[in-house]
Amino acid sequence: MKHVVLGLLATGPAHGYELRRRYDDLFADAGVEVNIGQIYVTLGRLERDGLVSHTTESGGDRRDRKVYRLTEDGAAELRDWVTRPSDTPLVKPDVLLRLVTARLAAVLLPDVDPTAVITDHRQRCLQALRDLDRQAARTSGTSVGGLLVQATALHLQAELRWLEACQRQLAEIELTTSGNGGHDG
Amino acid sequence: MAAVLRLVLAGVRGGNRATALAAVVVAALATAGIVAGLSVRDQGGPRVDRLYVEAGRPDLVVYGTPEALETVRRDRALADSSPVVRYVAATVALHAEPVDARVDALSGPAATGGNPPGRAPTVDGPDPGTGAGPGRPLLRTGRWPVPGATDEVVFDRAAATDAGIRVGDRVEVTVAGRPYPLTVVGTAIDLTDCFHPDCDPIRLFVDAATLSRLAPAPGDTDTGAPTSPDPTAGTPTSPAPGRSGALLVGRLTDPADAEAVAARLLADGQVTGVQTWADTRDDILIRDRIFGASLAGFGLFVLVAAAFVVAGTATARLLVRRREIALLASVGYTGRQLVAGLVGEIVLLGTTGALAGGIAGSLLAPYLQVGLTNPLGRPAPRIAPLTLLGAGVLVVLILGVATGLPALRAARQPASEVLRDRPPRAVTPDRVARLLDRLRLGTTVRYGIGAVLVRPGRTALTAGAVAVAVAALVVGGGFTATMDRLVAEPAYTGDPYDVVVAPASGTDPQRLVAALSGIPEVGGWYSQTDRRALLGDRTFLSRAVGGDPDDAGFVVREGRPLRAAGEALVGYGLLHRLDLRVGDTVPVRVDDIPLTLTVVGWYSETEDTGEVLLYRAEQLPGVPPDAFLVSAQPEGTPGALAAVLRDRLGTDATVRIRASDPDELGTFTVAVRLMAGLLLAVGLAHLGTGLLSGARERSRALGVLRAVGFTVRQTVGQAAAGGAALGLLAASVGLPLGLVAHRLLADRATIGMGAGPGLAEAPPLFLLLGTVPGTVLAGAVAGALATRRLARRAASELVRWE
Amino acid sequence: MADPVLRAAGLTRTYRHEARDRTALRDASIEVGRGDWVAVTGPSGSGKSTLLHLLGGLDRPDRGEVWLAGHRLDNRSESGRALLRRRHVGFVFQFLSLVPTMTVLGNVELPLVLQGVGHRDARRRAREVLDELGVADTADTVPTALSGGEQQRVALARAVVHRPDLLLADEPTGALDSTAAGVVLDLLRRRHADGQSIVLVTHDHRVAAAADRVVTMLDGRIADERKLAEPAGEPTYAHLLDLDG
């Protein structure tokens, strides 16, 4: 969150509510919401670390507001973060682990069908895709939200395709595991 | 180059075997037609020329009294000459009909015992170097008569072949009403006139001793006017039986001078007839020329059809192979290499076909030499390398162009578009589609016609090939009809009579006239007397016509019939040769008598290729007619009339039915029909393959239609509708095209025969009426057959097909 | 589901290709109720299109039965199936769904004309549907002049113009870019909302997810069949952004 706030401040000094407005412009149609408390908590931490500073502005008839801006350290930290490599999107092998475990536990849990692990996951993915399309109807293709929807949809499609491969090779997976128990062990 | 060659071979190997075979067959047919036609047209000439050399170059044949001929022998224009040959006019029965014959005396062996000069027999085989004189008959089978033999004869080779007379047979030669049985000891070719049956009389050769027996007393001298070819009928103008005469054959110092020398000799008035070798040669070759030219013309017809076929096939093949072509382009073949490869493929196939066709044509040609086979025998097939090469190059060139043009277009297609695996873009203009939609045709018909119109180029090619076939059919039908009429109505060939009555020697013509007038079966008659006539330095056949001019039913094409003395009616050949017009006045000399004649018209005549001049017999006072030409009453038959005349005239005259000679015209007609049929087959085959490849290409659209709900019957029905539309298009182009082509070709043929233009007979009505529905039906059937297999497939297969 | 639009049981189809048998479909059963939207998905070669062709009567199964709107389909002749098809089915293919030699209007009229609807009436209804699908302005052009997306919209118009019981679509968005695909998918959604029964074959899971039911095919068998719920609430993606860090 802190780098997002730093980024939002990079376009110019702002008070808390202005920052939230900037945030909503970018992310609201992706359904990612933020409350003003989160913003102020983050600003507090950033100020503590010397990355932002604030001045107080008179609000005329209203009460005074703190206007935040980036410090030099803040700008350096922002540069440092942006140029650092992003995470590689490695898949969490969650389904696969469950699938393998279900195989291993076949004797212990005879009522668990390994295929159901796949098909249930497919259902969730399909449902997620369906929901996502509802979401996509409200994003424009060029917004940050649109890009986010696209990324999600493509990941889900990849997952579904992989599930097809899983299902086709299920028999071989079973062979391999039973083989481990049979010899060499 | 190696890359292109690889492409060519891959194409030949991997291409559709049926289309490759079609290209080969079409190339073969076209080449065969052209080569056979040109061979028939051209090979006759050299053969006749070899005979001319073998016979000692007989440039001039002169008829007259022995005394006059002896004078001619010393003429300085003559480089060499035969001795004066005595002959007697006779008749011989061929196929049970009397045919005029001239019996020549052979001089020599009896007198000299050596190798004699003049009309001496040559011993088997050519030997022009021995100093023997010109014009010797050429022995082909058997032997010459033994010197002094009185009952041996060497027969005219053409007549012998025609009548099946062989060495050892007995023949009866009738002279002045008296039959003399003779034994045939050989057959020979004689070049003093053209061959039987085109020219009469046939020539027989006997020893001088035999001749003395046949004609003991040297009778009145025969006029000896040679007669000329007439493809449709025997000629009556022959020496009356029993007359004898003499002739001389001369070799000229300058053969090109023949016409002038002939004119000079005639003008001198010493001789009665002169015939030049040029005339004889033309007469011998005319039929083969016309036939050969027609054959070659039909070959060209096939070639045009072939070009359509190949262009259509090439376009279809290229469409099928467009992905392959694009792949090759992506590998790095240039557009030029691709076109070279595709053209190279057809050139390879075309050359194979042309070679096979050329050889077949050469082998076939001897069987098609209709005019020369009987007299000269069937020649060994000869391959003329130049003709073959020329025809082959022409055929391959046209096929190459027919492939090259679509190939250029195919190679120009951007490879990327093709590789994207989109179907070739259809080019139906919006307008066409809208128009068809507006017509509110049934869905089946609507789609079928639309599918045909979607590729206007290919549709035009397919329709073009069929149109050429239709045109050929019309031409063939019209040609046959024209020939049939010329045979059926002899008036068109200048023979408006049924029976020839030739007065016997010494018969008073007035008695015959009186007799003819008293026979009720006689519908009418006229008489004729043939003489060589002279106009300036040109000689031609003139014919003095006596009797009732209205009975002489010549077909006058322009002007009016001959009525009075001082008028002349000319054949088209003469009109053309002398550049005459109706109304012209011509000064001619006949038998040394100057006549001034006004041309009152021209008529259809094929004798002497129409170079004939008719005038009234009153202008030759005191000259007896050669023959009376008698027509039957409308209800009578020539046979009945002849029987009556024979009965009534007895030995006063020989009576002969006009010989109609349709045998060789029959060959001709069969050949023309065969060619037309062949073209039709090619056209229909192309229609079929065109529709088949079209259907294959549209299989996806057919699948879609089936998905929408087309039944199998509707699927076949739409193809039939498309085919029918193509057929209609082809017929509506081919029919007028054929009519025009027929008129032109038939005119050329009838002008060539001397009968003049405008004799083209319309093709039979059933053919004209049947052409359009027939072609439409053929198209519908071809379309239905082409789609039948596709229609039977499951729709899912068609939908997948791409 | 008392009266399913389509019921197929035990469909098996083997193709003989160059002397080798390849079973494209084994023992597949499917039922489509009135107003259902079923998507068939799976990797290429899994038998999706074969199944669709059998359901629409474009092909005959070696075993099994197909009942379409109460009529048995699989035992009829080619032409018999064509007659049923023209009344009860509309087809959309991946591309080349249109007859290239007819105008757009001519294509859309085709099912009506085949059913014997009068020219005037057919023309009016065809124009209505084209208008509804937003391609009314293309009516007088030939299909080849249209973009891929427009062609598919026209194909869809032709498939629904005669109000068939069942719309069969074989990869209708397969050859389109995402924008054009989105338009076609929206049109399918609208027809479905109006009660159209649809069977849609696609290898694109996102397209499949638009259906009420997704059938997954693997190696010629139906491997899975899942009903999807209507989207529940407003989804959020905070977890994806991990903004709490």
Interval B75-98: pLDDT, tens? 888 888 888 888 888 888 888 777
Asked if residue B117 has pLDDT above 50, the reply is no
**Chain C contacts of A125, Cβ < 8 Å?**
205
pLDDT the model gives residue A1 = 74
Neighbours of A59 (CB within 10 A): 10
Per-residue model confidence (pLDDT) at position B647: 86
pLDDT of the residue at B113: 36
> A133, C209: Cβ pair inside 8 Å?
yes
Closest CA to C31 of C59, C58, C53, C3: C3
- Per residue in A42-58, pLDDT tens? 888 888 888 888 888 77
The full DSSP string for C11-33 is EEEEEEETTEEEEEEEEEEEEE-
Encode pLDDT of C133-154 as tens digits. Answer: 888 888 888 887 888 888 888 9
pLDDT given for residue A46 in this prediction: 87
pLDDT at B115 over 60: no
Which tokens is C35 given? 């107003």
Confidence check: pLDDT of B488 > 60: yes
pTM equals 0.70
Chain C touches chain A, with at least 3 Cβ pairs below 8 Å, answer yes
Q: Which candidate from C87, C97, C101 shows the least CB-CB separation from B454?
A: C101
The residues pairing with B598 across neighbouring beta strands, listed in sequence order, are B567, B585
Residue listed under structure tokens 């025609």: B162
Q: Cβ-count burial of B517 within 10 angstroms (0-12 exposed, 13-18 middle, 19+ buried)? A: exposed
- Shortest Cα distance, chain A CAs vs residue C5, angstroms: 25
Q: Give residue C241's pLDDT.
A: 53
For residues B260 and B280, give the distance between their C-alpha atoms in angstroms, rounded to a whole number.
16
Instruction: Name the percent of chain C in helix, strand, coil, to the closest 5.
Output: 35, 25, 40
How far apart, in Å, are the Cα atoms of B315 and each of B5, B310, B387, B779, B782?
21, 8, 30, 20, 19
Per mean pLDDT, which range of A84-88, B140-144, B678-682 is the poorest?
B678-682
The pLDDT score that the predictor gives to residue C235 is: 54
Q: Number of residue pairs across B and C with CB atoms under 8 Å?
A: 120
| Residue carrying the six token digits 């050969």 | B292
pLDDT for residue B332 is more than 80 = no
Reported as a single tens digit per residue, the pLDDT across B545-601 is 988 766 667 888 888 888 888 999 999 988 888 888 999 999 998 877 889 999 999
* Separation of alpha carbons B29 and B675, rounded Å: 10
Minimal C-alpha gap between C71 and chain A (Å): 33
Best of B428, B439, B710, B799 to disrupt the C interface (most C CBs within 10 Å) is B799
A142, A160, A163, A167: best mutation site toward chain C, by most C Cβ within 10 Å?
A: A160
Q: Do A27 and C42 touch (CB under 8 A)?
A: no
Q: What percentage of chain A has pLDDT greater than the value 70?
A: 83
Distance between CA atoms of C229 and B319, rounded to whole angstroms? 50
Identify the closest residue of chain C to B703 by CA–CA distance: C58
For residues A40 and A180, what is the distance between their CA atoms, to the nearest angstrom?
A: 56
Q: What is the pLDDT of residue A95?
A: 84
| Count of A-C CB contacts under 8 Å | 78
Calpha distance B27→B30 (Å, rounded): 5
Supply the pLDDT for residue C7.
92
B8-12, B45-49, B294-298, B415-419: segment of lowest average pLDDT: B415-419
**d(Cα B231, Cα B661) in Å, to the nearest integer?**
7
In sequence order, the 6+-apart residues with CB closer than 8 A to the CB of B124 are B139
Do B and C share at least 3 CB pairs under 8 Å?
Answer: yes
For chain B, give the percent of residues with pLDDT over 70: 86
Among residues B749, B706, B733, the alpha carbon closest in space to that of B292 is found at: B749
> How many of the other CB atoms lie within 10 Å of CB of B468?
30
What pLDDT, on the 0 to 100 scale, is given for residue B416? Answer: 59
| Cβ-proximal residues to B35 (8 Å cutoff; 6+ apart), any chain | B299, B357, B358, B361, B362, B365, B384, B387, B388, B391
pLDDT, mean of residues A148-163: 86
Q: What subunits touch chain B, counting only 3 or more CB pairs under 8 A?
A: C
- As beta bridge partners, residue B92 has B99, B173
**Residues B586 and B580 sit within 8 Å (Cβ to Cβ):** yes
pLDDT number for residue B613: 92
Cβ-based contacts of A167 with chain C (< 8 Å): 216, 218, 223-224
Exposure letters A129-138 (e unless 16+ CB within 10 A, then b): bbbbbebbee
Say if residue A181's pLDDT is above 60.
no
Chains that touch C (3 or more CB pairs under 8 A): A, B
Position B706 pLDDT exceeds 90: no
**Nearest Cα to Cα of residue C126 among C114, C139, C142:** C139
Do B497 and B603 form a contact (C-beta atoms < 8 A)? no
Q: Which of C:38-77 have CB within 8 Å of A?
A: 42-43
pLDDT at B95: 80
Contacts A161 to C, Cβ<8 Å = 43, 205
Which amino acid type is present at position B340? A
Which of B430, B712, B796 minimises the CB distance to C142? B430
Question: What distance in Å separates the CA atoms of residue B237 and residue B544, rounded to the nearest whole number?
Answer: 11
- DSSP state, residue C212: S
Query: Predicted ipTM?
Result: 0.83
| Closest by Cβ to C43, choosing from A129, A133, A164 | A164
Say which of B447, B454, B711 has its CB closest to residue C82. Answer: B711
Of A127, A148, A167, the CB nearest to C228: A127
Mean pLDDT of chain B: 79
**DSSP alpha helix (H) spans, chain A:** 2-10, 16-27, 36-48, 72-83, 94-104, 114-136, 144-168, 170-182
- Which has more pLDDT, B418 or C118? C118
- Ranked by mean pLDDT, the top range of B301-310, B350-359, B446-455 is B350-359
Residue C167 CA to residue C198 CA, distance in Å, equals 5
Structure tokens at B127: 């030997």
Average pLDDT over residues C100-104: 80
Tokens found for residue B110: 């009896």
- Higher model confidence: residue A136 or residue A117? A117
Between B661 and B469, the more confident residue is: B469
* pLDDT at res. B86: 87
Instruction: Give C40-74 pLDDT, tens digit per residue.
Output: 999 888 888 889 989 988 888 999 999 998 899 88
